[in-house]
């Protein structure tokens, strides 16, 4: 698996080696030892999640507050999504900036989003199956979000907003500058 840092260095793009022939393919989707060696710290995923969505569904931008914050390792099993991670660490040199990457069943790329980032995705193809590992359990009391259409973030979702399908929760999220529920830059949330 090839691991590279995105434009925001704490976000990792994982590109697995695909072994294919006339029978199909084989791909190693997760290697904890290689990932930890690259990151320089231990990560313990405790839960796998999966969603199926139709084209135009937008989920996000979500995060959980410490000590329930989550690192996510995301991939698409079927279909395509545009995946977004926004830096919400106060005093970070990349605060408010984002990484955007297309994850597809064909390219098999994965994105590792660490603690301190809000995450969202928009579905670009019907019947898309999206899967991800997390290193902390869901905590409804600590669930937070940022408005997906916050103009200060400058995210190009690559979909006409009139075609989006959003949850009620995601239509009412605050702008980044209107929330105090942020992370501290430089804090190790992995201990």
Residues annotated as catalytic (active site), given as ranges: 62, 132
Which of 114, 133, 136, 99 is closest to 31 using CA atoms?
Answer: 133
Collect all residues with Cβ–Cβ distance below 8 Å to 24 and sequence separation of at least 6.
none
pLDDT of residue 108: 96
pLDDT of residue 140: 96
Give DSSP secondary structure letters for 104-119: ETTT--EEEE-TTEEE
Q: Which domains does the chain have, with CATH numbers?
A: 2-183 (2.60.120.10)
pLDDT of residue 41: 87
pLDDT of residue 191: 67
Task: Tell me the pLDDT of the chain (191 aa) as tens digits.
Answer: 899 999 999 999 999 888 888 998 888 888 899 999 998 889 999 999 999 999 999 999 999 999 999 999 999 999 999 999 999 999 999 999 999 999 999 999 999 999 999 999 999 999 999 999 999 999 999 999 999 999 999 999 999 999 999 999 999 999 999 999 999 998 888 76
pTM of the model: 0.94
* Phi (first) and psi of residue 100, to 5 degrees: -130, 130
* Phi (first) and psi of residue 54, to 5 degrees: -95, 165
Give DSSP secondary structure letters for 14-65: EEPPEEEETTEEEE----HHHHHHHHTS-----EEEEEEE-TTBEEEEEEE-
Rounded to an integer, what distance in angstroms lies between the CA atom of residue 2 and that of residue 14? 6
pLDDT of residue 182: 92
Three-point CA angle 31, 44, 87, nearest 5°: 95
Three-point CA angle 64, 12, 53, nearest 5°: 60
């Amino acid at each position: 698996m090839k691991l590279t840092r995105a434009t925001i260095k704490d976000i990792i793009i994982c590109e697995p080696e695909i072994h294919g022939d006339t029978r199909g393919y084989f791909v190693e989707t997760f290697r904890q030892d290689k990932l930890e060696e690259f990151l320089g710290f231990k990560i313990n995923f405790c839960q796998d999640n999966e969603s199926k969505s139709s084209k135009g569904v937008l989920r996000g931008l979500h995060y959980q507050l410490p000590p329930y914050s989550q690192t996510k390792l995301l991939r698409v099993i079927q279909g395509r999504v545009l995946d977004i991670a926004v830096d919400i660490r106060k005093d970070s040199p990349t605060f408010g900036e984002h990484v955007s990457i297309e994850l597809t069943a064909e390219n098999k790329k994965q994105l590792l989003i660490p603690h301190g980032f809000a995450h969202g995705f928009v579905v670009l193809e019907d019947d898309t199956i999206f899967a991800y590992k997390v290193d902390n359990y869901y905590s409804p009391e600590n669930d937070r979000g940022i408005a997906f259409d916050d103009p200060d973030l400058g995210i190009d979702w690559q979909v006409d907003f009139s075609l989006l399908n959003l949850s009620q929760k995601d239509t009412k999220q605050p702008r980044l500058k209107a929330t105090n529920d942020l992370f501290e830059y430089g804090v190790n949330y992995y201990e």
